[in-house]
Amino acid sequence: MKKLLPAYPGFTRRALTFTIDDANLKYDKIFIDIVRPYGIRGTFNLCADRMDREDGFYREFYNGFGIANHTNNHPYAIADNDRSEFVNEPAGNQPVDTDLFYLSPRGEGYYMKHTQRGWREWADDERYMDCVTSCQSRLERIFGRETVNGFVWPYCEQNNAKIKAFIKSLGFGSVRKTGDLLDTTDFALPDDRMAWSYNAHNTNLMEVMEKYDSAPDNGSLRFFAFGVHSWDFERDGDWEKLAAFAKKYGNRPTDYWYATVDEIFAYADAVKELKLTDKTLENPTELTLYVELDGVKTVIPPKTLLPI
Ligand SMILES: [Zn+2]
């Protein structure tokens, strides 16, 4: 039997992507203007309630990138083990107390609580589910039903079994819990798609990418994603760093496969479907696949049985 090694398009085993949250139009624009000329792609995780322009504007603005659901209103879900008391008065100038929920100006089912970073908003289970589904409907209306196949928890994965089950029931192909592995996995593809994390953020982007770039080829498909907000680059004065990153690592299609998060996961799934025998290699999937067969670069079109 011949030896089969998977590759991404371009016959590389390194994918490169980003995962950028929150639909911040001003800074997403600067981000896109930097990465797009270098062919770098990734996924924007959008809060539809922050998108106050017409649908067509966003289709054009995010064209060529992936889209995922980051909820409307960006709330925390109330954790199963949260024993905070509910106080029946509007949040305002109360003294700092991290164990009290006050009423949110957003209305019924929303609460405010002090955190280390100031006031934050929580939604009860019913409202939280609304935040997910209302965001999903708007994003699907804008970008098409099949396009919005990922979910990204606001803040991070919440300890709420009912909400976790609800998100699972919606059939997302991937769910990001939070981020920044830095990188403890040797850049393996995430083994749990329902709780995956990105590898680097703006402040250590170059450092982690250099590690990725110099990691020896181990014959398996690898994954590098950086996050997590376009405004992080503004806050930390890192736009030039992003530009240097794009210049150094962009436009190298035989070294990196530039794809959205969904595309990378879908490709990795498709590669697992390849069927190799002594005489044939079959690609039963809808994707064109790239492999090395005894070191020979081979392209297998969708739904094809290749004599070897
Ligand atoms: Zn967010």
d(CA 211, CA 182): 10
Number of other residues whose CB lies within 10 A of the CB of residue 295: 8
What separation in Å is there between the alpha carbon of 190 and the centre of ligand 1? 21
* Spacing, Cα 73 to ligand 1 middle (Å): 10
Summarised one tens digit per residue, pLDDT across range 173-229 is 999 998 777 888 899 999 899 999 999 999 999 999 999 999 999 999 999 999 999
| Stretch(es) of the chain classified as CATH 3.20.20.370 | 12-72+128-268
pLDDT of 184: 84
Q: How many angstroms separate the alpha carbon of residue 120 from the centre of ligand 1?
A: 12
Rounded to the nearest 5 percent, the helix, strand and coil shares of the chain are 30, 30, 40
Which residues lie near ion ligand 1 (Cβ < 5 Å)?
Answer: 21-22, 154
User: Could you give the angle at which helices 239-249 and 205-214 cross, rounded to 10 degrees?
Assistant: 20
Q: Give the three-state DSSP class for 279.
A: coil
Give the Cα separation of 136 and 45 in Å (integer): 11
Q: Which residues of the chain, if any, have pLDDT below 50? A: none
Query: What pLDDT does residue 20 have?
Result: 98
What is the fold of 12-72+128-268?
TIM Barrel (3.20.20)
If you search the block for the tokens 């998108």, which residue do you land on? 51
The whole-model pTM stands at 0.95
For residue 16, the CA-to-ligand 1 centroid distance in Å is 21
Q: What are phi and psi of 227, to 5 degrees?
A: -135, -170
- Spell out the SS3 assignment of 13-55: CEEEEEEEECCCHHHHHHHHHHHHHHCCCCEEEECHHHCCCCH
Q: CB-side exposure of 84: number of CA atoms within 13 Å?
A: 22
Q: pLDDT tens for residues 143-175?
A: 998 899 999 999 999 999 999 999 999 999 999
**What is the model's pLDDT at position 180?**
75
How far does residue 70's CA lie from ligand 1's centre (Å)? 7
DSSP 195: G
Check residue 181 and give its pLDDT.
Answer: 76
Q: Could you tell me the distance, in angstroms and rounded to a whole number, from the CA of residue 210 to the centre of ligand 1?
A: 27
Give ∠ CA 178-106-78 in degrees, rounded to 5: 40
Ligand 1 center to 207 CA (angstroms): 24
Q: Which residues contact 38 (CB under 8 A, 6 or more apart)?
A: 246, 247, 249, 250, 251
What tokens does 79 get? Answer: 């954790």
Helix (H) or strand (E) holding 119: strand 118-123
**Phi–psi pair at 22, nearest 5 degrees:** 90, -10
